[in-house]
Structure 1
Amino acid sequence: MSAWYYVDQHRQTVAPLPQDRLISLLSGMARPGEVFVWCAGFDAWKRAAEVEQLFPPPKVAQPLPPVPQVQSELTRAAARQHDAKSARAANTAWAKETLQGIGAFLLMLAIGIGSVTLLMMLLYGATWASENLLHYVSLAAQWAIVVCIVILAPLSAFRKTRVVSAIGFFSSSYIFGTCLWMIGLLTAYFYWGLKSIIIGMCMFGVGLVPVALLASLFNSDWTALSMMLIGVVLTYGARMLAFWMFENV
């Protein structure tokens, strides 16, 4: 093993030392690379930093391969939940747009039927309107009840057909509402005359039903009262059920 020499801070030569001992001493110095060293075979003194045996060049670390993307079950569950929320939000937005379109069309249709009923009642009397107009609207409401129970209710049990059921219930609510409005119109006119219709129409038309409920209550017409209360339940019950089904498609 070759003997090594170095010059300390006092310019004194320290020797001989084995290589590992010299390396150990150098590691404890403040500026080890500036220390002059010599070993057999050197032409002259060299700085320690120039001697590869004492200061080997740093090894270049081999880059690690990319970490495999392992998706945990928790991450996959979170992704599925996010996708489900996004789909639910999209369905809700689509449902609102669909209901707005259907509601606008059915509302215009109901306003048209109500206007014709009011005009015919003023021209031909309440009896004629009841026999010729209310009869058909009531028949449509009865068929709507049958369709809701026999067809639409079973369809609502399945997610794929729930949209069809929701649209059916929402449309049926307007049929029930039109029938309710016509019964209220005829009841209010029969008991309190034209002034009650004017009062109800001043409340955007919907005030006719409360006026008719009061008229039938004050005149003890329990049949008309019960029919209108059932109409209220059918109208708003079918509509709320349709909204619920649209949100749970």
Structure 2
Amino acid sequence: MPQESLACISCDTMKSNAQINLGPEAFGQSAVKQRDDGMCCGPTKSLFEMLFQTEMAAQYYYSSSSQSLIDIAEEYADCEKETNDKQPIAKVVGIVGFKPSYIIDGHHKILWNKNGQTFYANNCLHLELEGEIFIRQPGYYIVSSQLNLRRQNETDTPINETRPTTFIHHVDLLSHKYGTTGVLMQTKKSIEINGVYFTSFLSAVFKLNKYDRLSVSISQPDLLDIGHSNDNFQIYYTYNLQ
């Protein structure tokens, strides 16, 4: 009989501040067990179910100052830059322009590297002219993107009734292994006539293959606050299952 694959990942990876408790009592009858060394071990399927649940909880509580995967990735990125760890990582910051997306018709792919905070290391590469992050080590990665939309004011061109009222924010994938393109994740925001400032963000964990290329695309670049210092796109390697 085939055996279910097993794996271990750091329990810290699955923690969030979204009222999630990963102490021993949290596992109950779960097949996933927490070891004394801080690793959570069990069937791969069960591990990913728990990882998904904690991320959904983090997303739900984000508006009340919870920590979602985008916050975790930010912390990892800052730590990586200081310690020069060997984990693959890339963080691109600051919007410098756009080019037509070849993955989503009518969308605009973002080009990055405005203010010198962009960095990448250890089998991740920033393809600056393409606006893409190039993966050279397979594994499971936290992928996140944050964009800030500008506030509409008296000096801006008014949003009229014929203008699209939905802002779409994608993270897209070009797969070298499978020869395909597609959307990894997306969010949509309704734009009010008088417009208000808000942040659009995406974060999740994905299994990426060698030579995958990731990018961010949007529907309406004119709505972005491109001078905002917190516009970024980043990936952080967590682990791999052989």
Larger RCO (CA under 8 A, 6+ residues apart) = 2
The structure with the largest strand share of the pair is 2
| TM bucket, shorter chain | under 0.3
